[in-house]
Structure 1
């Protein structure tokens, strides 16, 4: 099922183009990678695809809701909350799934929202498919590593049962094994039926993502599948915090 369809998408401000001529179609079960150097408009494009930022040219269609993972300055962990508190707070804000929507929400998200009083942490981690990596529920947001922030963001994003999950700068501050773990985690979410779009400076060879280079004429290409031996990374959790404003140009 097609979740996002962007055709000739562009954003132009008084300072010039933020991004332009973007064609991207994301379906359920796919991982898309938006790559490019800092200042190429990757973050702005992600926010536009998720419905959080405007565009000035082209067409954009999205089916279902979108959830944000880690996006610096927009959706980040609260430094004063623990990982477990991030999850509990998010579940309390979401509340129970209305009966009329239960068939539209993934089973994992339903279970987490039903278990928020007892087993919220364990159920949320299991629902995101990150049980093979150690999570410390008592670790504060200020102490999370870049990889843990990314993984926490993915866990929190999955709790609402969206159709689309976006995450920004997923390769920032990580080494090769950690990057392998992040891309493996994104692939697991796609396997659960989410459409996943992540931005990165580059996608290393060997990862199953459809790559879109921003600011370059190259057309999207599909990378090789993720090898089954890709090492998992210790998950962390990220609490989204809506920002009042976003700069026009985001890397």
Structure 2
């Protein structure tokens, strides 16, 4: 197992543990045999080829998909039994077809909408009777805190806060999505395709962003193609690989961890036959678009 990011984790984060965790769709396994142990405030990177069930595992750990084998605990809540509880303490960053930004919205529209929604979800009843000026000030404070946390400066955007999402660079969109998610003060943040279409320099900035979130106490679970060396890495095997090979954990720099536990997806010969890309696709299609 890789060494987790050693940020200044706080009690707000959710520890994540999984034992023989798996999810089977109508046409096969999306993923199975996943073992994981991540303390609160960890930066967990899920890696593997396309079709290996990375997004399904991400959503299952965030309480958005129901596992069919094994179990997991997120913040002490057992999955799949306590999915609703896990949803309350987790938040989704960008996940294709599940929590994508609306390209027609401006940055300000996304921020105001999320601030309003969050006030209704977690604000005290008396906040509904606040003066409009007080509500606006509270929303502005929530937005400013989120933007500062993700390093998104609206003044650097082409049209400031009036910039449409479709005009954002990929890294700017990632910062905005993560900022929106953090408005709910989640204990776990789930991010899909964190380094998709990023240059090497942009990828390092993305890792810096996610490290800072983890260092602030929020556990981060991210799907990525080239994870940073300091992340706790979960490797899902290629569904076309030979069966029976347990996945192994590696330390920073790619070396093995002597005598250390393994974070793996272990596929037996029988399970390999119905572990398919279609299984992952079918499972995603049944998320209910959380």
Q: TM-score, normalised by structure 1?
A: 0.76
1:208 aligns with 2:230: yes
The match for 1:30 is 42
Counterpart of 1:60 in structure 2 is 72
Structure 1 residue 116: deviation in Å? Answer: 4.4
What displacement does 1:62 show? 1.6
SS of 2:161's equivalent?
coil
Q: 1:70 to 1:144 in 2, by over 3 A?
A: same
Structure 2 residue aligned with 1:73: 97
Deviations 1:200-219 (A, max 9, x none): 12225xx4211111117333
Judged with a 3 Å threshold, the aligned counterparts in structure 2 of structure 1 residues 179 and 88 are, in CA distance, closer, same or farther, namely same
Which structure has more helix as a fraction of its residues? Answer: 2
Conserved 8 A contact 2:116-2:139: no
Q: Any gaps of 5 or more consecutive residues in structure 2?
A: 1-10, 76-85, 126-134, 238-244, 254-279, 285-290
CA-CA distance at 1:131 after TM superposition: 5.6
Mean Cα deviation higher: 165-174 or 10-19: 10-19
In 1, distance between residues paired with 2:150 and 2:97? 26
Determine the C-alpha separation between the residues in 1 that align with 2:34 and 2:152.
36
| Counterpart-to-counterpart distance in 2, 1:72 and 1:129 | 20
Superposed CA RMSD in Å reads: 2.6
Which ranges in structure 1 are unaligned for 5 or more consecutive residues?
101-112, 225-245
Matched, 1:218 2:252: no
Superposed counterparts of 1:146-165, under 5 Å: 146-165=170-189
Q: Are the counterparts in 2 of residues 4 and 24 from structure 1 also a CA contact under 8 Å? A: yes
Find the aligned partners of 2:236 and 2:104 in 1 and give their Cα distance.
Answer: 36
Change in 2 beyond 3 A, CA 1:249/1:200 = farther
Structure having the higher Rg? 2
How has the CA–CA distance of structure 1 residues 11 and 118 changed in structure 2, closer, same or farther, with 3 Å as cutoff? closer
- 1:29–1:117 CA distance, 2 compared to 1 (3 A): closer
| Cα separation, 2, equivalents of 1:172 and 1:129 | 18
Matches of 1:28 and 1:177 in 2, distance apart?
28
